[in-house]
Amino acid sequence: MAVCGEKRNNFGLQVSDIPARRPERKSIEGNFIDLLPLRTEHADELYDVLGGIEQERASLWDYMFAGPFAVRQTLQNYIAQCAESDDPHFFVIVDKMSRQITGYISLLRIDPTNRVIEVGNVMFSTLLQRTRGATECVYLLAQLVFDDLGYRRFEWKCNNLNDPSKRAAQRLGFTFEGIFRQHMIIKGRNRDTAWFSIIDSEWPIVKQAFQAWLDPKNFDEQGRQRQALADLRNNLLRA
């Protein structure tokens, strides 16, 4: 409690109030995947890798807000809505070599004033999971968020029961911040939400680790990694 006449001068770190920019509908080119603005006509190819009632496909939607989609037209309707949305701002993921669509992803809860943005709606087909393209996808978005658009906080949130998503967030350099209990009701079920983030002061190290991991020299002739992403990041932090 401040004493009468006493002047407080510590209200937190002073930061620029220049807002970040909103993402635009532009393609982002990578070495393994490209990110293209999601369009309605992508729905058919997305259904081919994400749709259907087979367990392997249906389970992809377990922690998503929508799905699974047993009928092609239903997914087409959903993708049409996503394609029209500015927040979330959706990208379709295209394999660089085959030009096959392998999933989609979005930026959402876009807050240019406070320079906070979230990656979400991460829908990777089995063709994309555990590949260099999957890691590059998040790297490209982080690079867009911090280097191009000027955000200071990049968030990852997921159902606290979704252990693969939590492991992925930490592998990719997001820091666990806590759990929001009874945060949402999704498909009639409670969701406690685990929160993760990367902030702008952490990005230079996280970026270097991404680049070192994605370097072809980090993989042997069978495509196996020589160094794990987390190990590369920890080595940079210790340097």
Predicted confidence (pLDDT) at residue 70 exceeds the cutoff of 90: yes
State residue 10's pLDDT score: 79
Task: Give the pLDDT confidence of 14-46 residue by residue, as tens digits.
Answer: 899 999 999 999 999 999 999 999 999 999 999
Q: Is residue 22 part of a domain?
A: no
Residue 203 lies in a domain: yes
Helix (H) or strand (E) holding 215: none
Answer whether residue 16 is part of any domain.
Answer: no
12 in a structural domain: no
Domain for residue 5, yes or no?
Answer: no
Instruction: Kindly report whether the global pTM for this prediction surpasses the value 0.85.
Output: yes
- Per the structure, the count of domains in the chain is 1
How distant, in Å, are the alpha carbons of 9, 37, 131, 218 from that of 5? Answer: 13, 57, 61, 61
Q: Quote the pLDDT of residue 2.
A: 44
Burial degree of 58 (CB within 10 A; 0-12, 13-18, 19+):
middle
- Does the residue 77 lie in any domain? yes
d(CA 206, CA 33): 20
Confidence check: pLDDT of 68 > 70: yes
The domain that holds 222 is classified in CATH as 3.40.630.30
In a domain, 10, yes or no: no
Residue 148 included in any domain: yes
Confidence band of 194 (pLDDT split at 50, 70, 90): very high
Range of the domain at 166: 28-238
